Copies of this chain bind each other. A is one copy, B any other.
Amino acid sequence: MEKVQNYITENKERFLNELFDLLRIPSISAQSEHKPDMVKCAEWLAAALVKSGADRAEVMPTDGNPVVYAEKIIDPAAKTVLVYGHYDVMPVDPRNLWNTNPFEPEIKDGRIWGRGADDDKGQLYMHAKAFEAMCETDTLPCNVKFMLEGEEEIGSPSLYKFCEDNKELLKADIILVSDTSMISMDTPSITCGLRGLTYMEIEVTGPNKDLHSGLFGGAVANPANVLTRLVSSLVDENGKVTIPGFYDDVRELSDEERKAFNEAPFCLEEYKKALDIDDVEGEAGYTTIERTGVRPSLDVNGIWGGYIEEGTKTVIPSKASAKISMRLVPNQDFEKIAVLFENHFRAIAPKSVKVDVKFLHGGAPYVSPTDMAAYKAAEQAIVDTFGKKPLPFYSGGSIPIISGFERILGIKSLLIGFGLSEDAIHSPNESYGLDQFDKGVRTIPYFYKHFAEAK
């Protein structure tokens, strides 16, 4: 392992230069104008993986953006690790809030600044370089496959079918994913839970046209008023979602589990200060980390209706709408929740309006068992590089494809991410610490070693 670590030290600068080339490609999956950048990025990665030591690397077409597949098979009888990552990035708007060009990475204050620096180009490239270090020092202890997609930020629409179509190719003992965060560099953690998601859009229609609020105000149901009434009723004064059946399948934690869960270091005052809020708000009877880690939630992600420009317009809008998403926890079913939501929303709408309810997208929650060999190997690898045992961590976020992997491929995922909350993923001024990148590249080979050695 010393050889590997020395190789990483010697090639540190080159690793970063290569990552910078990757970050320069504006591979924004949500914006169709960047279609050519998606292909360019996939081709760049395939070439990079061959140079890193892969026996083969392919840009494989899908109905959407291509998947980069690469592999190195050292022994068909050996264990196989499938590395998953995504080369697409989030849009950069509001562009004016960036301090640097999002696609011209810079190093400042010990951090790499740019879109994708963490999510997920920075994190996936740690895997490419850890793989190179093991190949070049002849220490790779098992087979490695890479599956890098270009649509994670838009819900992985093509990857499900890709997995269905390539079950044999993708066979592996574990899927290794670095697309999550740690609690802090002092408190390393492994993500063992992800929330699921049901994302809905609702539209309330009142009169068949916008009306003058003077001539009609007080006599006609105003869809914007009704929308606020209906939406606000979805969460009660205790922060509980009021949709009948919403909590039926929620796995309640035992007192012991809750106790363990709340042992993670967390400072409410710092949390509030970072967000500039005087108080938190959430489901009564649960702590803040429980509220995001193991409890479901309901958020308005967007709301609009009527006159929203400068000044005044005295209008009763004909329609008002909202986008509402619910984060789900084991064992909630995202499709069942969509149906419960729709039925409830239709049921509570007054006769004075019509409502339309649409399901936009969803994904199942995921739990990564802490007793599997891969978790133990990752735990030990982190002890090797961070000097302390990582905590199991339940993230509030969702990576819908992860539960898809288990369902389609029958393979569990190990979520060993090296992000930090200050990386500002999805926001302006995304960054990734040089130490995070370095620790990641150094930790991954230990994982392979311990995983290969495990019975």
| Residues of chain A having any CB pair with chain B under 8 Å | 30-32, 90-91, 93-94, 97, 153-155, 181, 195, 197, 199, 206-222, 224-229, 231-233, 235, 239, 275-283, 288-289, 291-292, 295-317, 320-323, 325, 327, 350-354, 360-361, 395-398, 421, 424-429
A276 partner residues in chain B, CB cutoff 8 A: 207-208
Contact of A315 among B239, B311, B421, B426 (CB under 8 A): B426
The CA of A302 and the CA of B228, in the complex, are separated in Å by: 12
Contact B216 A292 (CB under 8 A): yes
A321 partner residues in chain B, CB cutoff 8 A: 308
Contact of A218 among B216, B232, B283 (CB under 8 A): B283
What is the CB-to-nearest-CB distance from A277 to chain B, in angstroms, rounded to a whole number? 6
Contact A301 B213 (CB under 8 A): yes
The CA of A88 and the CA of B14, in the complex, are separated in Å by: 63
Contact B304 A312 (CB under 8 A): no
A360 partner residues in chain B, CB cutoff 8 A: 311-312
The CA of A361 and the CA of B278, in the complex, are separated in Å by: 31
Most buried by B among A30, A288, A301, A305: A301
Contact of A282 among B90, B218, B353 (CB under 8 A): B218
A427 partner residues in chain B, CB cutoff 8 A: 209-212, 315
Contact B428 A350 (CB under 8 A): no
Known: A209-B424, A279-B350, A308-B321. 11 other contacts (CB 8 A): A32-B310, A207-B277, A210-B427, A215-B396, A215-B421, A217-B297, A218-B396, A219-B292, A225-B299, A277-B352, A303-B308
What is the CB-to-nearest-CB distance from A114 to chain B, in angstroms, rounded to a whole number? 16
Contact A426 B314 (CB under 8 A): yes
What is the CB-to-nearest-CB distance from A447 to chain B, in angstroms, rounded to a whole number? 24
Would you list the 8 A-B pairs with minimal beta carbon distance, nearest first? A218-B297, A214-B397, A224-B300, A302-B306, A208-B276, A221-B281, A30-B311, A207-B275
